[in-house]
Amino acid sequence: MISKALLIVIGFSTGMAISAGVFAFIAAIGIVPRMVQRSNTQKYIRLYEDMILLGGLFGTTAMFIDYQLPRIPILAGAYALAIGVFVGVLAVALAEVLNVMPILLRRGRITKGLPWLLLCFALGKVLGSLLYFCADGFFVL
């Protein structure tokens, strides 16, 4: 009994430390202010921050609680879209902070077709996500 309680405390503590690190990382690279600035939605900044927090809490609890989402294809698509938007925003913000695109273009000697390159990156991400969710049996196309 005591060993299970100790495991629960250790698991909760390490989860809190990891989630604090993730949220600090998100804050450090400035995703929310940059997203608010680009979309011109300053009045919703608190909502963005709350949704990131709730998403982190939901994602953490989903590891321990088997949430059963309704098998409605539109909800499964909306769930997949929300995950994709979060991962995409995080990846683009990280790439922007690290200046990945200018380095990639300079090293690859790419002078034309930048919009097509970005489109290919996005389509590859979408295709990979669809393959992952279809293979996982989350939803069937």
Query: Against a cut of 0.85, is the pTM above it?
Result: no
pLDDT the model gives residue 137: 62
**Residue type (1 letter), 134:** C
**Count of C-beta atoms within a 10 Å radius of residue 46:** 9
Burial 104-122 (b: 16+ CB within 10 A, else e): eeeeeeeeeeeeeeeeeee
How is residue 105 written in tokens? Answer: 């273009």
pLDDT the model gives residue 138: 57
Is residue 138 within 8 A of residue 80, CB to CB? The reply is yes
pLDDT the model gives residue 76: 74
Q: Which residues of the chain have pLDDT under 50?
A: none
pLDDT tens digit sequence for 73-105: 777 777 777 777 777 777 777 766 667 667 777
